[in-house]
Amino acid sequence: MELLKSIDQIRGDITSSSLTVGTFDGMHQGHLYLIDKMLKYSNSNSQPSVVVTFNPNPFTVLNNINKQKYHLIAKKDKYDILDLLGIDFLLELEFDGKMAEIRAEDFIKNYIINPFNPQNIVIGYDHHFGKNRQGNEVFLKENESKYGYTLTVVKPFNIEGITVSSSAIRKFVNTGNIASANRYLGRNYKIKGEVIKGNGVGRELEFPTANIKVDTISQIIPQNGVYFIKTKINNKNYDGMCNIGYRPTVSSENTMSIEVHIFNYFNFDLYAQFIEVEFVDYVRNEKKFKNKEELKLQLIKDKQHCKSLQI
């Protein structure tokens, strides 16, 4: 896949293509379904496949929303998924105040038609682009004959009659319903952050942890609680459990922490490294115990439960 950061990087010999445009802010099953539709046109017509997207998410810019309150996927993970799907060109446009002012007429001409000459354009049923969201299904349909493309509007992708959407997944993650979030995503929800030195309480309890610096995470942090997780260190896969919250049994500070206990990993030489944490299932709420001994007994039960979930 060729990653393009501006239209100036686009070579001039793309005479035809199949294209989709969208934020693809979760790369969930609905997005994958839509992109698969576009790829079928690309493959059947022997045309390059093109995805036009934005960074950061336009909604966060227009509404001044912190990335930890909205993002569902890291930029690199988005790239990797699109690459694995077989996308030929990914145009990622920087979304800012200037981009927000571009009219739909100018956007389609300068960022879609002129650089990529699409024969097929595929969009989701609820997609909009351009100033005041004027670039929609009606707009694209009206311009079919002018620009010589065929428009395909993909209907909602449903699971058991419920539409898969990024907003639904955000709600699942924010409420700890990781199993449903993973189902809608088609993969485990994950975050990535930098490991920092903790206060050693986990090691004291014989549950040493990798402590992740909260402000290095660029996505939604799941609801407080204990989770069964998976991670990869030095290209080796490990299971473990993660506590998100305020550690009320051992700390009176009102500071969120993310502590990862990794099963069968004993080196804990991870300081300053960035690790990924995949959330497999929710185990329990965070709670305050009477003392460290009671906490340790609960951690033993949590670990046993997580191991019962291992495949």
Q: What is the pLDDT of residues 162-173, one digit of tens each?
A: 999 999 999 999
Structure tokens at 18: 């199949």
Q: What angle do CA 48, 52, 56 make, to 5 degrees?
A: 150
Q: What angle do CA 166, 133, 33 make, to 5 degrees?
A: 35
Q: How far apart are CA 265 and CA 259, in angstroms?
A: 14
Predicted pLDDT of residue 268 = 67
Mark 237-261 as b/e (b = at least 16 C-beta within 10 Å).
eebbbbbbbbbebbeeeeeebbbbb
Q: How far apart are CA 195 and CA 198, in angstroms?
A: 9
Structure tokens at 92: 């990622």
Q: Show me where the domains of the chain are located.
A: 2-158, 188-308
Q: Which of 108, 111, 103, 102 is nearest to 140 (CA)?
A: 108
SS3 at position 195: strand
What is the topology classification, in CATH, of domain 2-158? Rossmann fold (3.40.50)
- Domain 188-308 superfamily per CATH: Riboflavin kinase-like (2.40.30.30)
SS3 at position 87: coil
pLDDT tens profile 13-66: 899 999 999 999 999 999 999 999 999 999 999 999 999 999 988 989 989 888
Predicted pLDDT of residue 68 = 83
